[in-house]
Amino acid sequence: MTTFLQIDLPALLGALLAALVCALVGNLLVLTRRAMFSDALSHVMLPGVLVAFLLTGSTAAPAVLAGGVVAAFVAAVLVHVLVRYGRVDPSAALGIVFTTLFAAGIVLMEQSGAARTSFDVHHILFGNLETLVWAGASGPGSLVDPQALALLPASIGHMALSLAIVAVVLYVLRTQLAVVAFDPVFAAASGLRVRLLDLALLAATALATVAAFEAVGAILALAMIVCPAATARLLTRRLDAQVRWSLAIAATSVGVGYAVAVLGPPALGFPIALNAAGTIGAVSGVFFIAAAALQRRDGVAIAGRRA
């Protein structure tokens, strides 16, 4: 029991919180056909997070968050300039900006020496779930011991706070964001400040991505933004139901993926566990494939449940 509390519980909590915060913003990104925007965002954040790390010497949440958000807004401005003044196709502009900034971040990481610290490419892509260890756990009593709980990895608290902030922002703006998502032309005609709402969604996405970036890496963050929301969209057309489905799918992906990563290899005779973040992301993709296959095989029944 103590081993589970020390090793598995922190990793599960970190993955769960990251998956939930990413799934929340993912619903609106999927509805507005900007799912791959999260891919671009996870890449453009690298130079911002890296510069913040180099300036402060710390990977603490405030510095990392500030660097990531600044990088996200810089990228958004660059895309806007290319589209408006350079007359570049929006998808091409997005691809140019995020690949260029990501490559610049890699070069800066190598030249600055950050690649020889814990801030390396492996950490960026696959996260740090396996190093989330609860050193203060000494048994079941630790779950109600304030002193032991204070020793939980700091990134878990950061992600919990990010989840709370994103949930509040999206709840307060849920009606306006839903109108923009389903009918942006009507939203603009009815007087809604579409650009400000887009900015709020960008900020929420940046916060979710940076929070997940710290523990689970870019791959799982992207998978959790896109896959649960896209899977839920196959099951319902109601936004409130879609959000509930996406959260349930995200949580289930974490549980199943972590179990497969940790228990699967020993059961098959392999001594080394799989990367937990990558396995969770793969499981979320499998869930989407299963939902799509079920919809194709039984389309009438699925369509009937979309109410």
Q: pLDDT tens digits for 251-302?
A: 999 999 999 988 888 777 777 778 888 889 899 999 999 998 887 665 544 4
Distance CA 90, CA 101 (A): 16
Residue-level pLDDT at 304: 46
**Would you state the pLDDT for residue 73?**
77
* More confident of the two residues 217 and 258: 258
Position with higher pLDDT, 264 vs 126: 264
How far out from the chain centre does Cα 107 lie? 24
298 token code pair: 């039984």
> Residue 232 — very low, low, confident or very high, per pLDDT cuts 50/70/90?
very high
CA separation for the pair 101, 46 (Å, rounded): 8
- Average confidence score pLDDT of the chain: 80
Tokens standing for 241? 């139901």
pLDDT tens digits, residue range 66-97?
787 788 778 878 887 888 788 888 778 888 88
pLDDT at residue 257, as a whole number: 92
Distance (Å, whole) CA 42 – CA 110: 19
Other CB atoms within a 10 A radius of the CB of residue 212 amount to 31
Spatial distance between the Cα atoms of 223 and 280, rounded to a whole number of angstroms: 9
Which region among 107-116, 147-156, 233-242 has the lowest average model confidence (pLDDT)?
107-116
Specify the DSSP element, H or E, that contains 49. Answer: helix 37-56
Question: In 30-172, at which residue ranges do the beta strands (DSSP E only) sit?
Answer: none
Lowest-confidence pick of 103-117, 118-132, 142-156 = 118-132
Domains of the chain: 2-215 (1.10.3470.10)
Per-residue confidence (pLDDT) for residue 301, from 0 to 100 = 46
In terms of Cα–Cα distance, which of 288, 257, 289, 256 is closest to 275?
257
Measured CA to CA in angstroms, residue 99 lies from 67, 185, 227, 287 at distances of 18, 31, 22, 29
Question: Under 8 Å CB-to-CB from 52, ≥6 apart: which residues?
Answer: 63, 64, 66, 67, 68
For residue 274, which of 287, 283, 265, 285 has the smallest C-alpha distance?
265
**Quick count: other Cβ atoms within 10 Å of Cβ 59?**
18
What tokens appear for 266 in the block? 């020993």
Contacts of 90 (CB under 8 A, 6+ apart): 79, 83
**pLDDT at site 60:** 62
Which DSSP category does 4 fall into? I
For the chain, the 3-state helix, strand and coil shares in percent, each to the nearest 5, are: 80, 0, 20
- Each residue's pLDDT tens digit, 165-214: 999 999 998 888 888 888 877 888 888 888 888 878 878 887 887 777 76
* Structure-model confidence comparison of residues 2 and 16, the more confident one: 16
Say how far apart CA 51 and CA 96 lie, in whole Å. 21
pLDDT for 285 equals 93
Q: In the structure encoding, which two tokens stand for residue 89, read together?
A: 């196709």
